[in-house]
Amino acid sequence: MTTPELPHNRYSEQVDSIKAAELLALDEKSLAWRRALATIAEQTHTAALRAMGNLSPLAVRLMNPVPGDIVFEHLSFYMDDPERHMKGFGILDKIAMEPFYSDEQWAAIVSEYNGAAMPTPNRTSETAYYIHYGPAEDDVCRWTNASFLVVPLSPSFVSEALFIATDI
């Protein structure tokens, strides 16, 4: 089994001392470490919101991850569900708008109307997040109805978030 490289060099530069093998390890010690990092990110987000509300550049950056960011699913943060915590922390591979219904389900829905006007004629879509949470290449979890926060591991993360905000 090979250890995946951190995707998107943009972030791998920020985590310089952290290797993908350490970040994506699934042993008990590493999972506790990941939980601690998620707690720090959650508290950083809360502090940023208290300081400036939704206009805080730091809060905006923490709430809007991009592929390559290290993230955690914070809506389930306080749930007592170790599997959700394990699969909800990792590297964001991609964010995609995908159909809510499979092709077969959608065809069945359309056929029920037999040409009559459908209440929602357009196929519904949802946002899907793909999180690489473990050391194996196929340790990827698809999340929907979820919200992710960036885990700020770099000392320069805060200053970069503020700098980007001044450029807008």
User: For residue 4, is it within any domain?
Assistant: no
Gap between the Cα atoms of 44 and 72, Å rounded: 13
Instruction: State the residue range of the domain holding 81.
Output: 9-167
User: For residue 35, is it within any domain?
Assistant: yes
Coil, strand or helix at 52: helix
User: For residue 31, is it within any domain?
Assistant: yes
Sign of CA dihedral 19, 25, 30, 33: positive
pLDDT of residue 90: 92
Going by the DSSP 8-state scheme, the letter that residue 68 receives in this structure is T
- Whole-model pTM: value is 0.77
First to last CA, the chain: 43
pLDDT of residue 20: 65
Q: Tokens 């109805």 appear where? A: 145
User: For residue 145, is it within any domain?
Assistant: yes
Residues (pLDDT < 50) of the chain are: 1-17, 165, 167-168
User: For residue 62, is it within any domain?
Assistant: yes
Coil, strand or helix at 129: strand
Domain count, the chain: 1
pLDDT of residue 8: 43
pLDDT of residue 18: 58
User: For residue 106, is it within any domain?
Assistant: yes
Going by the DSSP 8-state scheme, the letter that residue 121 receives in this structure is -
Query: 140-145 long-range CB contacts below 8 Å, 24 or more apart?
Result: 140/93, 141/87, 141/88, 141/90, 143/73, 143/88
Name the β-bridge partners of 89: 72
User: For residue 1, is it within any domain?
Assistant: no
* Residue range 16-35, pLDDT digits in tens: 445 666 788 899 888 888 88
User: For residue 2, is it within any domain?
Assistant: no
Name the β-bridge partners of 141: 131
